[in-house]
Every structure is written in C-alpha cells, then in structure tokens.
Amino acid sequence: MKYLSVILTLMLGLKNPLLSQQRVVAECTVNFKISMDDGTLDKDVSNSFSKSYKTVYIKGNDSRVDFVSPAIQQSIIYEKTQSSAVVLREFGTNKFMNRLSKEQWLTANKQYQGMTLNLVNETKIVLGYECKKALLTLKDGSVFSLYYATSIVPSVKEFEYQFKDIPGFVLEYQIKESGDNTIVNYKAEKITLSPVLASRFDIPTSGYRLMN
C-alpha cells in the first residue's frame, strides 16, 4: 500500500503541472470577424455578412455577446450565478427585450442538447495561442468545426451554450447546418485581457419593448 501511495502521488504530481498551465480568464474582450463560404450565395447576402461582426465581453460571472449586422443588432447578456439571460434586439428604430429564466435559457438552447463532442489531434495558432481542433455534431446533423485555445478558459462558458463543454477558449469556428452547403465562419481577430466596464452588463430600463 505504501508503494501504491507513492506511485499515485508521483502520477498526480506529473499531472498537476499540466493542469496548472491552463488559466481562467475572468475579464476579456474578443472581436470576431464573420464570413460565409458558398459560391451560390447572393452577393448582397455575402456582403451583408462581410460587414457583420461579433464581440464577446466577459467579466467574472457576467458575459455579453454582441452581434451587429446591417440588418439587425443583437446582444445577449448572461449571468452565470442565476443561469439567466437578457436578449436585446434592434431592427432599425424598433427595440425589443426578452428576459430568460434558467429554464427558458435551456429551452432556447435545446437544439444543442444531446450533441456529441469529438476532440481531434490537430492544432493551429490563433492570435498567438496554440489551439486544438474539436467537432461538435448536433442531433439534426449540423456540425461545428472549431479551434480552442488550450492555455485559457473563460470564467463563463455557458454564454455560448454549444461550447460549454469545450476544455478551453473557442477562438475560431465554422457552422455547417444539416442539408445546407453554406458555411459560416467566425474567427477571433483580437483578444484583450484587460478590465471590462461593468456598464457593459447593465440591463436597459427603458426604450425597449418587453416581449415575454
């Protein structure tokens, strides 16, 4: 038993340094470029996506994801402690707000339940971070092909529910829906590991029509 304890201690000692290399990022801003791949797409559609962008803000237990395009602006503000979210949408001068409880948040992401994760032995460098490849397959056949930084992990992972089980920070991914040849690409162009203003996560008290 004594020798077994020594062996186990040595094994744990070898593993711990590897685990300690991964850093939890509690505050950051990540800017993503969006593009589409499909030669059959209308040029106006492709141009619209080329003018779209996504920004992720993380601060402790709070996260915010902004998606901005010529047609719509959407923000999802997620609070990890309560597992609740607020969705803000703007269509021109029209502004709408949805408040989602934990149960409603899970329902809104039900298409990701039952998905399978396959970690692939392939790496690439994104913004100076070594990233590993993973494939997420949804029950309907849609596939997420992604690269995640192995050395950093966000303090809030559920803000993008489909990536909640990824063992790192997703910095690049593609979406191919089942039965569709169109591929939507998201690639991080900049990551800033500096304090984020708390006001980013303030919920508007006026100017928005509450939908639920």
Beta strand 152-154 pairing with 23-25: parallel
Is 59 part of a structural domain of the chain? yes
Is 212 part of a structural domain of the chain? no
Q: What is the pLDDT of residue 50?
A: 66
- Rounded Cα–Cα distance for residues 65 and 162 (Å): 14
Which residues form the domain of 160? 23-191
Is 62 part of a structural domain of the chain? yes
3-state secondary structure of 143: strand
DSSP string, 156-179: --TTSGGGTT-SSEEEEEEEE-TT
Is 15 part of a structural domain of the chain? no
The CATH number covering residue 172 comes to 2.50.20
Is 35 part of a structural domain of the chain? yes
- Rounded Cα–Cα distance for residues 179 and 126 (Å): 29
Per-residue pLDDT of the chain (212 residues; tens, 9 = 90+): 444 343 333 334 444 444 447 899 999 999 999 998 865 555 555 565 668 999 999 999 999 999 999 989 999 999 999 999 999 999 999 999 999 999 999 999 999 999 999 999 999 999 999 999 999 999 999 999 999 999 999 999 998 999 999 999 999 999 998 888 889 999 999 999 999 999 999 999 999 999 97
Number of domains in the chain: 1
- Rounded Cα–Cα distance for residues 24 and 92 (Å): 38
Q: What is the pLDDT of residue 15?
A: 41
Neighbouring C-beta atoms of residue 27, cutoff 10 Å: 16
Is 1 part of a structural domain of the chain? no
For tokens 């962008």, the residue is: 53
Q: What is the pLDDT of residue 3?
A: 40
3-state secondary structure of 141: coil
This prediction has a pTM of: 0.85
Is 164 part of a structural domain of the chain? yes
Q: What is the pLDDT of residue 66?
A: 98
Helical ranges in 21-129 per DSSP H: 43-50, 102-108
